[in-house]
Amino acid sequence: MRASGILLPISSLPSAYGIGAFDQKAYEFVDILVRAGQKYWQILPMGPTGYGDSPYQSFSTFAGNPYFISLNELVSQGYLTEQDLLELQTVADEKFVDYEQLYNTRFLMLRRAYENSRIREKGEFQQFVSEHEAWLPDYALFMAIKDRKGGQSFLEWEDDIKKRQPETLCKYRETFEHDMYFYMFLQFEFSRQWQKLKAYANEKGVKIIGDIPIYVALDSADTWSHPELFQFTENLEPKAVAGCPPDAFSETGQLWGNPLYDWAYHEETGFDWWLERIRNCFRWYDMVRIDHFRGFDEYYAIPFGEPTAVNGKWEQGPGIHIFEAMEQKLGRQDIIAEDLGFLTDGVRKLLADTGYPGMKVLQFAFDSREESDYMPHNYDANCVVYTGTHDNQTTKSWWDELSETDRDVAFRYMNLPGVLEEVTAEEITWQMIVMAQRSVASLCVIPAQDYLSLTKEARMNTPSTLGCNWHWRMQDGDFSDRLCEKIYRMTKLYGRL
């Protein structure tokens, strides 16, 4: 069935307190999707952000981001007061997320809510902790220790706690019990509020597309609590780390720094940890985009300590076996494979064998040097089409930055009237959206920035850079009734209602 949706991270929602959250504005965005005839809301990973503020480098693959907890909801529960929130509102930036400011103020407010909550006495909370005992206590202790050590990486902790010696673990659990319950309270409140929002969206006919990074962060509760899952030395240093080889976009490649999986161990255990990870995703989402799908066929391994990705090499991944185990134990799930970039025959075969839809990005289509698989006439229905993703420039600025020869290819492909020099970036943005919507792709997802015809200041992420990413926020009222009606009419015209 044909459908369409909008890509908008939770962090980019309007809010009075510096970052998008599970508050009234999130519910209003669901209503916007309904008015615009959209059936899907795609978001980015919702894990707690760490260094670099990236949702793809989280302190836990199972935990949720405490910044998304609605403070207004905490007021309604009596955990905070309106006066408390005034303290945050006076320093909040409405246009961009200031993560440093959030880190320095939000946790103080959340601690205040925890102290007022008497949460440990409540049966619903106790049940939540019991249901998530496989990861929650370890995550809570990891964060509590990290706080006391000023954010220090667990790789720099003393050997007894770094290597989880049983006596030391018992001592730390006793010492940090109160702090552990604070972090468990945050996860309980995150889960409760998110499930309420998701239920509202589903009742309105809107499904949530989530995003799962293939890798976990090197400094994370996952690596600390389960080092056997990864390619580590006895001293818990990575033998090699993840990245991408040099290409036309980067002479030295991309050095991501994530630890690599010990796939032989995962296969021996029936991929139990991965299956629990996927199971958790489908508690949160209706459909899941798996990032860097190529890594399941082959992954790029860079020796630990290398300054660039130049000296890495390709290693064999788990292939179809992990997806066969997933389907056998979890049933058939709605999954999107992020298959962007250079694809080998092995990746193409793996994608075909799974039957998952891949991704098509129109900004990659118009290369004057060769015909591209991203041109719509090369699609089949089993794919998801985007104008761009969170890693792309906004389409309006993409057009401004495009070479003249590539512009000519795009202009002719879209069969636009007039002459190339007279077309505006705003007109091109809408034509790109139209081209995506009318393609044969079963699902079409458009970034909110493109519907709003925004320029490069609204770009979400520039890969391999630090400092200016993940900050953009939508403004209240950006999706006017007129714009929603325009989107609705187009969606109806191309059979995606």
Query: Whose CA is closest to 355, among 370, 343, 371, 339?
Result: 339
Q: What is the DSSP letter of 373?
A: T
* SS3 sequence of 314-335: EEECCCHHHHHHHHHHHCCCCE
Task: Compute the radius of gyration of the chain from its Cα atoms.
Answer: 23
Contact 85, 15 (CB under 8 A): no
Is 368 within a domain?
A: no
Q: What is the DSSP letter of 282?
A: H
Counting the structural domains of the chain, the total is 1
Token digits for 52?
Answer: 């670099």
Mean pLDDT of 94-117: 94
**pLDDT tens digits, 177-201:** 999 999 999 999 999 999 999 999 9
Q: How far is the C-alpha of 372 from the C-alpha of 362, rounded, in Å?
A: 10
Residue tagged active-site, from 189, 338, 339, 450: 338
Is 59 within a domain?
A: yes
Contact 361, 389 (CB under 8 A): yes
How many residues can be counted in the chain? 497
pTM: 0.96
Is 155 within a domain?
A: yes
What CATH number is attached to the domain comprising 288?
Answer: 3.20.20.80
Strands 335-337 and 287-290: parallel
Is 291 labeled as catalytic in the residue annotation?
Answer: yes
Sign for the pseudo-dihedral over CA of 326, 327, 332, 334:
positive
Mean pLDDT of 460-474: 90
20 pLDDT higher than 80: yes
pLDDT band for position 417 (50/70/90)? confident
CA–CA distance from 186 to each of 107, 143, 190 (Å)? 10, 12, 6
**pLDDT tens digits, 353-396:** 999 999 999 999 998 787 789 999 999 999 999 999 999 999 99
Is 477 within a domain?
A: yes
Let me know if 7 is exposed, middle or buried by CB neighbors in 10 A (0-12, 13-18, 19+).
buried
Residue tagged active-site, from 147, 391, 406, 408: 391
Q: What is the dihedral of CA 250, 252, 253, 255, to 10 degrees?
A: -130
Token digits for 41?
Answer: 């809301």
**What's the gap between Cα 91 and its chain centre?**
26
Is 400 within a domain?
A: no
Residue 8 CB partners (closer than 8 Å, separation 6+): 29, 41, 42, 43, 447, 448, 474
Q: What is the pLDDT of residue 251?
A: 87
Q: How far is the C-alpha of 321 from the C-alpha of 317, rounded, in Å?
A: 10
Mean pLDDT of 165-183: 97
CA–CA distance from 420 to each of 311, 369, 411, 417 (Å)? 43, 19, 7, 9
Is 426 within a domain?
A: no
Residue tagged active-site, from 138, 291, 297, 450: 291
Full residue range of the structural domain in which residue 39 is found: 3-357+442-493
Contact 258, 179 (CB under 8 A): no
- Write down the mean pLDDT value for the chain: 95
How many angstroms separate the most distant Cα atoms in the chain? 76
Q: How far is the C-alpha of 473 from the C-alpha of 383, rounded, in Å?
A: 28
**pLDDT tens digits, 287-339:** 999 999 999 999 999 999 999 999 999 999 999 999 999 999 999 999 999 99
Is 156 labeled as catalytic in the residue annotation?
Answer: no
Token digits for 466?
Answer: 């630090």
Q: Of residues 180 and 244, which shows the higher confidence score? A: 180
82 pLDDT higher than 80: yes
Contact 113, 176 (CB under 8 A): no
Q: What is the pLDDT of residue 90?
A: 67
Apex CA 35: angle with CA 33 and CA 37, to 5°?
70
Is 338 labeled as catalytic in the residue annotation?
Answer: yes
Phi, psi of 231 (to 5 degrees): -80, 80
Is 184 within a domain?
A: yes
Number of H helices and E strands in the chain, helices first, is 19, 12
pLDDT band for position 249 (50/70/90)? low
Q: What is the pLDDT of residue 91?
A: 66
Query: Whose CA is closest to 313, among 327, 299, 326?
Result: 299
Q: What is the pLDDT of residue 50?
A: 83
Is 403 within a domain?
A: no
